[in-house]
């Protein structure tokens, strides 16, 4: 059964296959990796600013 096999494979994913690990592995370029990290942190900062505005307003 394909669905059982699919869920079985999903449950066997190891924790090191996180998004950041995949980005680091795929790019293999420290400059590009740092750029991606800074972009993600910028987006996170923007979201936190928006949330703070919503809370304080």
Q: Give me the residue spans of the domains in the chain.
A: 2-56
CA atoms within 13 A on the CB side of 43: 5
* Per-residue pLDDT, 31: 72
First and final C-alpha spacing in the chain: 53
At 57, is the pLDDT very low, low, confident or very high (cuts 50, 70, 90)?
A: confident
pLDDT (tens digit per residue) in 2-49: 444 444 444 455 555 566 666 666 656 677 767 878 888 888 989 999
Report d(CA 54, CA 42) in Å as an integer. Answer: 19
Cα-only R_g, the chain:
18
């Amino acid at each position: 059964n394909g669905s059982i096999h699919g869920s079985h494979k999903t449950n066997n994913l190891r924790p090191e296959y996180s998004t950041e690990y995949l980005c680091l592995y795929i790019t293999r370029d420290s400059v590009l990796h740092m750029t991606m990290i800074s972009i993600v942190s910028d987006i996170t900062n923007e979201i936190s600013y928006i949330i703070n505005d919503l809370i304080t307003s």
